[in-house]
Amino acid sequence: MGYDVKVSNRLKRIEGQLRAVLRMIDEQKDCKEVITQLSAIRSGVDRTIGVIAMENLLGCIQEADGDDVKVNQVVQQAMDLMIKSR
């Protein structure tokens, strides 16, 4: 599976947010601000997981070429991954 530029950009944004949180901690910023940023990071990671899982799922379904057993397997695998990521 290839990863699209959008996924890379999302992860770079998350990386920047994480560095900002580390800077905030070093600067002893208010815990509310830190938690707000950490929540944004978690949300960004969750959305990125969803994008990657969805793109992979669509690709696997296309490869299954109408085979219901294969489609059911890849859907189940995708669901397992989503549950595991929580």
The per-residue pLDDT for range 63-83, each reduced to its tens digit, is 888 888 888 888 888 888 888
The CATH number given to whatever domain includes residue 61 is: 1.20.58.1000
- Give tens-digit pLDDT for 23-49: 999 999 999 999 999 999 999 999 999
Task: Indicate whether 54 pLDDT > 80.
Answer: yes
Q: What is the pTM of this model?
A: 0.79
The letter for the amino acid at 68 is D
3-class DSSP state for residue 3?
A: coil
8 Å CB contact between 21 and 41 = yes
If you compute the radius of gyration of the chain from its CA atoms, what whole number of angstroms results?
17
Cα distances from 12 to residues 15, 17, 19, 50, 78, in angstroms, run: 5, 9, 11, 16, 24
Q: What is the pLDDT of residue 84?
A: 83
Q: Which two tokens stand for residue 67?
A: 């085979």
With a CB cutoff of 8 Å and minimum separation 6, the contacts of 6 are: 51
Domain that holds residue 13: 5-85
- How many domains does the chain fold into? 1
Lowest mean pLDDT among 1-15, 25-39, 51-65: 51-65
